[in-house]
Chain A
Amino acid sequence: MLIRFYLNNQLKEINSDPDKRVVDLLRENLGLTGTKEGCGEGECGACSILVDGVSKLSCLMLAAQLDGHNIITIEGLADGEKLHPVQAAFVVGGAVQCGFCSPGMVIAALDLLQRNPHPQRSEIRQGLSGNLCRCTGYQKIVDAVEAAALEMGDKL
C-alpha cells in the first residue's frame, strides 16, 4: 500500500505492507533507529513518536495509520548540531544514563510541555508515567523537564 505522510517535516511516499508496525518501519526501512523498542507491548514508552504533535506508541501502530499524518521522531527535534531545549536539558541535567529510554522520554516530555508549559513536579511525573526508565530513578529526568519548561517559557 502507498502511504503518504510527513516525517520530520519532509513528505514521504512509501510502499509498505499496511500491517507493518510503525516502529519496524522507522527502524528497519527508514533507518531511524532513534525510536527504540523496549517491550513491543505498550508498556515502556521507548518507542514514542509524535503523531500530529501527540505522543503515540509506535510499537502499537500500523503503517497504514501513518497515512496523511505529521510524524516527528527523535531525530527530527535537533536543528543540526543544536539540540532542542528539552534534549539540551536532558544532557545538561544528567537525565541520560544508558539512554535507551531517553528518546521516548524526550517525546513524552514534549507532549506534556505542549499541553502544559509550566508543569509542577508532580505533573511532570504524571506526564512521564507511561515511560519506563530502569537506570535513572526518574529524578534527573523530572529535573530536566522542569529546567526545559523554565527555559522555553511559552515558546513551545
Chain B
Amino acid sequence: MKDSTVAIGTALPRADGPGKVCGTEKYAADYYPEGMLWAGVKTSDYAHALVKEIDVSAALIIPGVHAVLIHKDVKGSNRVGVPESDAPVLADYKVCHKGDPVALIIAESREMVSRAAAAINVEYQALPAVFDPEQALLPDAPVLHENRADKNLLLSGAINKGKGALALEECTFSVESEFNLPAQEHAYLETETGVACLNDDGVLELVASTQTPFRDRMELAHALGLPATKIKISAPYLGGGFGGKDGITVQGLLGLAALNSSGRPVKMWNSREESFKSSSKRHPARMHYRLGCKQDGSLHALSCRIVLDTGAYASLGGPVLALAMEHAAGVYRIENTYIEGFCVYTNNPISGAFRGFGAPQVLAAVEQMIDMLADKIGMDPLEFRLKNAVNRGDELGSGVLMSRSTGIVACLQTMQKHPLWINRRQWEKDAPPFKRRAVGMAAGMQGTGYGPVVADVANAKLELLVDGRFRIYSGVADMGQGNNATNVQIAGEILGQSAAAFELLQPDTERSLPSGSSSASRTTYSFGNALQGACRLLKERILTRVCQMGMGIYQEDLLLVPGRVHHIPSGKDIPLTVIATAMTDSERVSVNSYTAPVARHHEIVNPAVRAAGFPHLVFCFACHLARIEINELTGEVTICDYLACTDGGRVLNPQLYEQQIQGGIVQGIGYALWEDFKVSAGEILSSNLSTYIIPGSLDVPDIISLPVETVEDSGPFGMKGIGEIGINLPYPAIANAVARATGRRIKTGPLSAERVWQALQAEEEQ
C-alpha cells in the first residue's frame, strides 16, 4: 500500500485498516493498565423514586472492594449533559429511570463489583411515574425535574408558514395518519468503556470511547469539581458510536473512581446488558400528519404534530427535536405548513443522539404520507415526488431555504432511469406462490453541521516531522466512519505525498486541538476544511524555505512530490528531511481554524428551537428503492434488492462513501423491520442482543449505491457529509412497499412479521 495513490476521488484503503484487522489497534476497551481496579455501578430499582438512604456497609466489607462512592463523594455539580446539564453522575436525592446509577463500586475484579452492588442497600420512596410523553404533558403529571418551569416539557416549537394548517381546506385531495415509532438502540459492538488514572501531577487522565473528548473534558471539570487543565482525555478509535457516545457515558463515573482509588488506574466497561440499560436510544416518536395537494398534484398544505420521548434526561433531545421539525415536511415545496413539536421527559430510558437526529422518524412518516397522497390522486409516486421536490433557491415545507447544492431532483431522475424502477411492475407480477412482491421508494435529506447558533468550529494541526513525514493531529474522534483516514487523503492530495508519509494522531485534549464532536455529518466537512488550510499553510512554508535555501525565487518552480521538493527548471530534488531540519520546531507545525458557514435566512421558528440547531445550511439528499417479498404464511419481509441514489456532493473516496451508505441503510433496515427496543413501565424488556435483534449477514441484501454528484463549494473538494443520510430512508421505502403489497398501512413500527401478517389477515377479512 506504500505508494498507492491518495488522489481525491480514488478508493485509497483506510489507514486504520491494517491495525484493526490484525488486532493490534488499541481501542479504549483494550487498555488494562498495570495495577488497575475495576469500577461498576449499582443502578436504580425504581423508575421514579426519592433516594432516602444508601447503606454501603455490607459492600465495603467484601474482600477486594476498594471503595463504594455515592453522590456525596462528588465534589462538583454532579451533573452532566449538553446543552442541558441535568443527568447526575450519581443519583442524589432521586432517581428518574431504572438505569440511574446510585452507587459506584471500585474493586479488584468485576465479580467483586457485582457482589458489592448486590450488597448495597438503598432505601427508596417510590414516586408516581410517567411513561407516556402525551401524559407527561398533562398538568397533573408527575414531574421529573422540579426545578424546570416547563415541567416535563424539554423543548417545544412551532412553524407556521403561509396559511398554515388552514390551507388544508383549500386542497383537492388530502390524507391523514398517525405513526408510532419505537426506540432504537445503537448497539455499537464496543460498549461504553474507558480507563482513568490520577497521575503524579494531579492530572486526571482518561482514555475513553467517546465521540466528544474536548466537550467531555469541560463537562467533567464542572461535574467533578476539577479545573479543566487538570483533565486530559484521549479518544482512540471507537468500536462504533452512531451518536450513542456523543457525550458522557461512563466518563463521569470513571473520573470519580480515579479520584478515589489511591492513585491506582481504574477501568470500566459496561456489559451488554448494562449498556442497554444506561445508554441513550433513538427517540420514540408519535407523529400525526395531514397532507394535501391541488388537483394537479402540487403539494399545498401540511400539518403535523411530533411528540418525542426523551426519557429521564435531556441528552441531545433538543437538537433532535429541532432536526425532526426541520425535516418534517421532507424535500418538497409546500407553501402552507404548520409543524409543531414537543420533546418530553418521561421515566423511560434516555433518548439522545442517533445517526439521523430525528430525521429518520419524521421522514418515515412524511414519506408514507406522500405515497398515500400519490395513491389517492392516482399519480406515480416518483412522478409525484419529482413534481414537488425542491431545487436550489426553493424553500422546504419547513421554511428552510435551499441555498447550497441541491441534488434531490437529480437523485430522483437517476432512480427513474434505473431498471429496478422501470421493471418494477413486471417483477411484482412474477411473485412465486405464497409470496407477495412490491417495490417501494422514499426520498429525503439530512442537514449537516450544528445549525445557526452553536459555532461549528474545527482546528487542524499538522506537523512536518524531522524524518520528512507528516503528522496529522486529528481533532475529531473516529467512531468508524473513517474521517481520520480521509484526513490522509486530503493532506496527501494537497501536499503531494503518499499515504505512507502520514502519521495519524487520534484526538487527545493535550496534543490535538478542539474541533467539535464526531457527529452531525460534519466530521470530514468541518475538519477537512480546517485541514486543507493547515496543509496549504505548511506547503507554503516548505516552499518558501526551499527558495531561501537557494533553490530559485519562484514557488511556481517547485513541486511537492513524495518525500521531496522538485525544482522544475533544474530538475533537481531536495529531500523533505533536509528541509525539515532547516526549519524551526514551530515553523514545522501549522494550525488552521475553520468555522462552518450558517444559514442566514429569516427566522421561521421560535428562538429555543433555533438555538437547538434549526435551520441548517448544507443538506445532502437521497432517494431509496426497496424491492420486497412478503411470505404470506408468516408475514416475514425479505428485502430482495435495494437501491440508493445519494447526493453527497463530490465523492472523495468511493470506498468510504459506500461504507457509509451501505452501513446506514442496513441500520435503517433494522429500524424498519426488527429493532424494537421494548420498555414496559420503565423496565427494559429488550435487555441484550438475543432479545433486541439487529440485522445479521443473512438478513440484508447487497445494496446498489449510486452517487449523484453535485459540487458543494463550501465543502473540502466539493464534498458534503454522508454519515447519516443512509439511515433516513429504509423505513419509509420498505413501509411503502409493504403497504403496496398488503393494501394496508401499518402505523406502528417496526414492520414486524407479526404486524405484516395481521395486515394480510385484515385484508382477507375485508
Q: Chain A residues in contact with chain B, CB under 8 A?
A: 27-28, 31-41, 43-44, 46, 73-75, 77-78, 83, 87, 90-92, 94, 96-103, 106, 121, 124-126, 128-129, 131-142
Contacts and interface: CB of A to CB of B under 8 A. Distances in A.
B627 to A, nearest CB: 16
Interface of B: 1, 11, 13-14, 16-18, 20-27, 29-30, 32, 186-191, 237-242, 271-272, 479-482, 655-656, 658-659, 662-667, 688-690, 694-698, 700, 702-703
Contact of A98 (B1, B480, B666): B480
Query: Which one of A39, A43, A132, A139 has the greatest number of beta carbons of chain B within 10 Å?
Result: A139
A83 B658 CA distance: 24
Nearest to B110: A24
A112 to B, nearest CB: 11
Task: Give the interface SS of chain B, mostly helix, strand, loop or mixed.
Answer: loop
B638 to A, nearest CB: 13
Given A94-B14, A96-B14, A135-B659, 7 more contacts: A38-B272, A39-B272, A78-B22, A87-B21, A90-B21, A94-B659, A99-B17
A34 B30 CA distance: 8
B658 A39 contact: no
B444 to A, nearest CB: 18
Contacts of B26: 33
A38 B189 contact: yes
Contact of A129 (B30, B689, B696): B696
Given A36-B29, A134-B240, A140 B187 contact: no
Contact of A134 (B242, B662, B703): B242
A92 B690 CA distance: 32
A1 to B, nearest CB: 18
Contacts of A140: 655, 658-659, 662
Contacts of A137: 662-667, 695, 700, 703
Contacts of B479: 98
B18 A98 contact: no
B17 A44 contact: no
A126 B698 CA distance: 6
Given A132-B694, A135-B480, A137-B700, A102 B662 contact: no
Contacts of A46: 189
B23 A74 contact: yes
Contact of A135 (B240, B272, B658): B240
B697 A43 contact: no
A28 B111 CA distance: 14
A142 B24 CA distance: 23
A152 to B, nearest CB: 16
12 contacts: A33-B26, A41-B272, A87-B21, A91-B13, A97-B480, A97-B659, A97-B663, A100-B240, A126-B698, A132-B189, A138-B666, A141-B697
Given A44-B189, A133-B189, A98 B21 contact: no
B235 to A, nearest CB: 13
Query: Which one of A43, A96, A103, A128 has the greatest number of beta carbons of chain B within 10 Å?
Result: A96
